[in-house]
Amino acid sequence: MKALGIAAAIAAAGLLGACGYTTEKNYRDPVVSAEQIDSELVSIREAAREGLPEFIRQLQAPEKDEYNFQVKYPFETDPGGNFLSEHIWLRDISFENNKFSGVVSNVPLYISGLSIGDRVPFYIDDISDWMYMKDGKIRGGLSIKYLLEKTPPMDRDETAAAYLELFE
C-alpha cells in the first residue's frame, strides 16, 4: 500500500511539473509566469543547480534505497504562444556518451512535438529542479514542495497532503 501511495505521489509530481514554471514571452498577455511573481522559484532553481554534484553522485552510484531519479528541465515552447519555455519532469535519467537523457514524465501543455514517454537529451546545467527517493522519502524536489505548501490546506487533495509527508 505504501508503494502505491508513493507511486501516486510521484504521478502528482508530473502534474505539478506543468503548473507555473514558464517564462512569459508577451508581457501584454494576461498570463503571468511563476518566476515573475515569485522569486522563491528562482532561488529554488539556483539551489537545485548548486546541488547537482550530490544528485549526479547518487545517480551514478545509487545506494540500494535510492531510486526514481528525476530532473525538471525547461523546454522551448511552440512559436506563437505566450511562453518561451515549459518546465517538464524527466525520469529514467541516463548518462551515455557524455550526454544526459531522460523520459518525459508529464504531459507537455505548450510543446506539440514532445509527448509523455519520449526519451530526450538535456543539458544537466540547465535543470530547474531535481529529485530522487531515498528510503521512501524525497530528496530535492523543492519546487514541488514549495508549490504544494503554497496551496492552502483546504485546497489540497489527499494525494497532495500525502506527497508533502514524503519530503525529508
pLDDT in tens, 143-159: 999 988 888 888 888 88
Mean pLDDT of 122-137: 96
Check residue 57 and give its pLDDT.
95
Mean pLDDT of 20-33: 38
Please check whether residue 147 is in contact with residue 20, taking contact to mean a CB–CB distance below 8 angstroms.
yes
Whether this prediction's pTM lies above 0.85 is answered by no
- Cell matching residue 7: 507511486
Please check whether residue 69 is in contact with residue 93, taking contact to mean a CB–CB distance below 8 angstroms.
yes
pLDDT tens per residue across span 38-76 = 788 889 999 999 999 999 999 999 999 999 999 999 999
Tell me how far apart the alpha carbons of residues 32 and 110 are, in angstroms, rounded to a whole number: 15
Instruction: List residues bridging with 99 in a β-sheet.
Output: 96
